[in-house]
Structure 1
Amino acid sequence: MHKETSLPNRMAGLATRRFTDYPVTSVFLDLRPRGTRRPGLVFLKKELSQMKKSLPHRAEEAEWGARDIQRIQEAVAEAQREKANHLAVFTSAKEEFLEKYFWTLAPEADLRLPHSFVRGARPRLYPLALLADRLENFLLLVASQRKGELFNIEAGRITKHWEKEAPVHAETRREKRGAFDRRTGNIHTTFTKRVEGHLQALEEKFFRELAKKTADWAKAGSIRSVVLGADPVAGPPVKEKILEQNGRLEVVLAPIDSKLSPARILAAGVQAFRQQEQERSNFRVEELFSPGKRQVFFGAVEILNVLRETRPAGVLVLDEAFHQEAPICGRCSAVTIQTGVCPDCAGPVERSPLENELVCLAAAAGAEIEFVKDSEALAKKGGAGLLV
């Protein structure tokens, strides 16, 4: 089983797999109940029944199909034991290939993706890409001059917590006591400067430690976003030090009081993260239409050809409403006129969703995949854009 944080890295490996001799079965299920029913299990039962009926008569292929069905059923049972509420399975018995992923989204998560059951030459990664874009995976650092708390948030839940008190140096306290003039009630200027300098050095060291821990966690979990809840004194220097450690992180400052309960800190952090993600999506669309020196391509077929030929590590922006099918070669990803045999590589051609092929090629190229909602400008350009 793979955790949520490994998903972006694992997608690239899945995207490069081709199954032209025997199909891969891709299953995505939302196992959350609705009332007394579990629509995901009802959907799966129907799809498995149809798959059994469509298995070929050849004994060997029928056996492979039966093994795929068994693997899917076992994965669902395992997910339920793990109390996961989302499941993805990719299986091809002939290739001895099996990948499975479990997620447990927070109860208040409003993300709902349609169930999917597809057999074809390509793994159906589109639901995973959409889920990866919508999962609330980020780091939340609540910092002040006195204390720092770091939370790892996965799927809207706190999965790891670390805290650090600011050091109170004994030598500083002794200096301050020795500098106090009982007669005048003042602290001598020379000692005041020493104390202030010492405190600043301690504060600098403390902020640097918070930044390093944050950058280390981000690297270990392939996390790109940090919500920094800090007061005006701690916020700017801690943010600066985080970016010194890892300039690719996106750090957003949020007014989060460190005295709040963990539940309220989490709620405030999630709200700030969602706002940041919305701003990021809007920015990506703006970039497509004002790219500067970067190249932009619009339209699914044109983007697919660019990804096939040059494999650029750019940004693929898709409208969530975009859906289009076309005859696509399972071996070379060429879009052809009709199904059958590919004129370029003699591979099998079948009607496939273009959005999934785009996601697979983008993931294989290491491109970032961004989904947007209700963008009229992008919809007029075909619902897909590539920035390289």
Structure 2
Amino acid sequence: METNGLGSQGFPELKNDTFLRAAWGEDTDYTPVWCMRQAGRYLPEFKETRAAQDFFSTCRSPEACCELTLQPLRRFPLDAAIIFSDILVVPQALGMEVTMVPGKGPSFPEPLREERDLERLRDPAAVASELGYVFQAITLTRQRLAGRVPLIGFAGAPWTLMTYMIEGGSSSTMAQAKRWLYQKPQASHQLLRILTDALVPYLVGQVAAGAQALQLFESHAGHLGPQLFNKFALPYVRDVAKRVKARVQEAGLAPVPMIIFAKDGHFALEELAQAGYEVVGLDWTVAPEKARRRSDGWCRRCWTTLGHSVILPTWAMDSTLIWTQNTWGPLWMPCINTHVCFDRTELTHSPSTTTNKDDVSRRIKILELEFSIWFHVWKIFALTLSSFLASAASMGPLSASSPSHRSSGINEYIL
């Protein structure tokens, strides 16, 4: 029983549970919206807060993480908050040095190269105690959210963390990490087990601290084919979900929905849908209607992710939201989110003036019409161009001695 407006964990009672109801497969009045990285450089206030210290010092400051988490909600009518942190705090807690190099990204000065390097890693059971600052940030943020929207916790999946630890940072090929899979399969499984053993108490600790949903990011799934993914990634993704749920129950905590997002992992949709997660996140490479047919009945929800590698102006994003909702239909109400907001994202709301959902709805209806008009214009243009090219190909090469014939053919299609 909740009293004095406080939930079972002593936090303010949740006022907007649309996101959580969608995650549990319940009906919602509208499609909830959130962004995986809704705190980012597109916000001037984010840049100002981040300028005070380096990236990982910010991650270790509960006050700073709380502030960065709340900033987007002061501008936009989002339906969830996601704690500001980073997936690489886990390798740090395992004893690896990680720095964030401006213009380059994460860097591991001493990556894992040989099997014996695994001996450098700390006991995974002690990782959660090293990450108390994340738990403090979650608790502080839950308190300051005052029940406005639910708070999401997250972590990187074992394979994704493994790639960073072996590659020494970001990589377009993951050649070193994949070499481990082929040449050091036993050591690869050993490392993946270490990471899984570290992630389970870390995620449970987030729930105990106040996280109301959890997301596991398998950001580098696309670097594996189906065979390698099923052997080296999927078993550990499943194990994380199974063990976290069991530990949450053992601790007497309320169950939370879990989301798995495997970027470019469209080849494993069926397997992910049966991996023990309430929600499977889809990236922009997956057609929602096909995902619905492939996963219906296996998981509560598949949510679509928009614009994860393209820059969408406001009107395009809004229109895409409408198209996506219409594509899925009323019986499969997804939660729509974006992977990242870019520096050039158009800011239309000040922190002190958050747009309500009625205003957003009216604006989307107008933008839907604009999108429809432009779509048909481009469709006509594409059909005309296609017809012209097909006709030109059928006529074959034209000799230079017949300019009038060539001109009349072109003018026919222009007119």
Which bin holds the TM-score, normalised by the shorter protein? under 0.3
Larger radius of gyration: 1
More helix by share: 2
Q: Which has the higher strand share?
A: 1
Tell me which of the two structures has the higher relative contact order, counting C-alpha pairs closer than 8 angstroms and 6 or more residues apart. Answer: 2
